[in-house]
Structure 1
Amino acid sequence: MLTFREATNADVSALVALIESAYRGEASRVGWTTEADLLAGQRTDPDGVAAIIGAPKTVLLAVERDGELVACCQLADEDGTGYFGLFAVTPGGQGAGIGRATLAEAERVIRDDWGLAELHMKVLTARADLIAWYVRRGYRRTGQRSPFHYGDERFGLPLRDDLEFETLIKTLR
């Protein structure tokens, strides 16, 4: 059984380890959300995670099974619109419904607890498999593109020069 709670500063180290394992390096290849072929370097760092935990109108949701951290996601109220990001599931747990359950809980919080009607996210366009996963869950592609953070090593070291994000949106009401 999964439990959901708001992350605290005491969770920062475990959250960084989870996020890195899901997206970077060889360990991430166990799961299907790896970005190891797109980006090297870090996905996040303790300062970045702590900043999210302390940000106004933002929650970093920690997901546990039997007391073990297995997933997380960031939820934010951005001027009356929900934002979903920093989504990670432990590589060994991917494909087992943890991500689907986490996304459903995020949507519930945004809709029921925060009273917001839409949830937005940005996904690397090179991640066609991930975009398709979100589309199957009711998100629509907007065609709205934004550049990758080239030159800012806090977000990784690009292995390609064509990285960009697309905004996906889901109406929750």
Structure 2
Amino acid sequence: MIDATEGLHNQDLKIATLAWEAGRGLIMVVNKWDLKEKDDKTAAKFEKECAEKAPYLRFVPFVFTSALTGMRVTKVLDLIQTVDAERHKRISTSQVNDALQQLLARRQPPQAAGHEIKLNYATQVETNPPTIAVFGNNPDKLQEHYVRYLHNGFREFWGFTGNPLRIILRRKSEKQ
């Protein structure tokens, strides 16, 4: 919970980051919104400023409340249910593979030290938090920016709102 009159403190950010890295779902509740001077862009600006401090916050829903007046307090409960449903969302292997093929068609992985990198297939291996395993010939050589591309692409397809999405890179076994 963030105090709207004070903004996002380092301590708030540390707690949110610990929860995110531990694989927990997050909702950013901004209280005392009734005391904040605002226009129609204030909420979006507040969210953007927070995401600049911690990029993962762009995947986290914000709800602007007032405990004093009760404004949007019940929306917090709705968001808890939404984030929990997103956390336990199961995507079929065929859907994950279709998404991977679309992402590969848009942008192939770059070569690494003269080695061609082929990504063969992907599957969701876990929920809570959602985790997708991507199999290929040289996964350890895949550059971080391309892993972010896959991460953002999978989020475009399924959202996983309020939850960290983990991507595990694995070497395709020789038998397959």
Shorter-chain TM range is under 0.3
TM-score of the pair, normalised by structure 2: 0.25
Larger Rg: 2
More helix by share: 2
TM-score of the pair, normalised by structure 1: 0.25
More strand by share: 1
